[in-house]
Structure 1
């Protein structure tokens, strides 16, 4: 019998190779040395996840937007009321090798239009 290595959970105790996931039979076979082990080779293997959430006051320092503003404001004439300021937001709606879609909103009357750039 070959000498057993002192290994970490998830690694082959014979050759030290990282082990694949357990099979449906509840065992695991090392790709390198072809030894088969039970689920105990994964004992002690734990994962810890930390999820950080924003606090409710994370946006408290930001200025509140004026009514009708959905994004950044630019000088663009509204075709509906002829106001010279519109806010805009962008999204990538088409495939990655094509331009983005720009959504404009009039800051005065709320008229909306889109432009594919």
Structure 2
């Protein structure tokens, strides 16, 4: 990810530049191009779902995996029911990748 040196917001690639919503632009270098891969183009109105098994950027917590017994898991919250109900907490084992959910 590239961050704007003016305002600190995440900048997104557009054509051959990184653009920030504050108006700052910077040209994409060869090194930066090798770090990014465009897998498919989407319109600005579409939601983007990140695919893949690399969730190492998610926060970790102590939780016992029901599959392997490991005591650490990545976690995230997602609204799976009506808006007036609490979110669902998803956990993924840091060792075997088993995913399970918890409700509040």
**Larger of the two Rg values belongs to structure:** 1
* TM-score of the two chains, using structure 2 as the length reference: 0.47
